[in-house]
Amino acid sequence: MKLSSISFLSKLLILQYLSFQCLSTQDFHFFTFILQWPGSYCDSKLGCCYPKTGKPAADFTIYGLRPSFNINGTSPTNCDIQSVFNKSKISDLIEDLEINWPSLRCPRLNNIKIWSHEWMKHGTCSESKLSQHDYFQTALKLKKKLNLLQMLKDAGFEPNDQFYDIGNPLSIIEDATGFLPGMECNRDSAGNDQVLKVYMCVDISGSNFIQCPSLVDNCGAKVQFPKF
Ligand SMILES: *[C@@H]1O[C@H](CO)[C@@H](O)[C@H](O)[C@H]1NC(C)=O
Ligand SMILES: *[C@@H]1O[C@H](CO)[C@@H](O)[C@H](O)[C@H]1NC(C)=O
């Protein structure tokens, strides 16, 4: 056999192996939907950098939509390395994504890079259910459906630098949605716990909130909800 046909064969085998891997990891059980409070993120040691479009509105931003496993709560990643992130497939969503899914990382990163990264790392693991366009649209719809900031404000949990019992935001969300959320805090330079991320789980249709099988929870008894 010629060398070129041998390497062709081995490539074929590698491709078959990869597509098998793909199929097996796409059997996820639910989505983990994560929102981030920019006021806490920006108050961390690393600080934040606003996107080119300027300071985002004082609202939660989308941090991620992750296909996840029931069994161990982990999320599969990079399920289709042959997928290509294609900006023109989400052109009708860009404006909405700029507002709701900006990157606040430093040094400043083009938002497209963040969306491409999220698609390749997480989105490809739900490719069997959601196209590239629908993956991003699903995240935007979930954010609107949850309407988290309004929900919290309506119940008196406001981003005003005050401290609250951790049970306060958790029970507001549980009362409003029927499901207890996960909550992740960061610690500012003064050692205060601040509400950084809120985790909700969503069924595989991508439209109904469900109870998370396990909950992130690293916050202390008192949490600050910083201004932004
Ligand atoms: C979690 O469960 C999935 C599905 O069974 C499995 O593929 C994956 O390897 C598990 N991960 C860990 C860290 O146990
Ligand atoms: C990107 O998507 C557009 C619209 O669906 C399509 O016309 C174009 O061929 C795609 N580009 C690549 C590189 O796949």
Distance 126 CA to ligand 2 centre (A): 20
Is the pLDDT at 187 greater than 70? The verdict is yes
What are the structural domains of the chain? 28-224 (3.90.730.10)
Q: Read off the pLDDT of each residue in 63-78 and give the average, rounded to a whole number.
A: 90
Alpha carbon distance 172, 180 (integer Å): 9
Q: Which atom of ligand 1 is nearest to the CA of 24?
A: 7
Ligand nearest to the CA of 131: 2
Nearest residue by C-alpha to atom 1 in ligand 1: 72
Structure confidence by residue, pLDDT tens digits, 144-155: 999 999 999 999
Distance 191 CA to ligand 2 centre (A): 48
Distance 159 CA to ligand 1 centre (A): 37
Tokens of 223: 């949490």
Relative to beta strand 61-68, strand 163-165 is unpaired
pLDDT score, position 199: 98
Ligand 2 pocket, residues with Cβ under 6 angstroms: 84, 86, 88-89
Ligand 1 pocket, residues with Cβ under 6 angstroms: 69, 71-72, 74
Is the pLDDT at 211 greater than 80? The verdict is yes
pLDDT score, position 55: 94
Most ligand 2 atoms within 8 A of CB, residue of 80, 83, 89 to mutate? 89
Alpha carbon distance 143, 61 (integer Å): 8
pLDDT score, position 136: 98
From the list 162, 189, 193, the residue with the least C-alpha distance to 45 is 189
DSSP letters spanning the chain: --HHHHHHHHHHHHHHHHHHHHHHHT---EEEEEEE-HHHHHTSTT-----TT-SPPSS-EEEEEEEE-TTT--------TT----GGGGTTTHHHHHHHS----SS---HHHHHHHHHHHTGGGGTTT--HHHHHHHHHHHHHHH-HHHHHHHTT--SSS-EEETHHHHHHHHHHHSSPPEEEEEE-TT--EEEEEEEEEE-TTSS-EE--SS--B---SEEE----
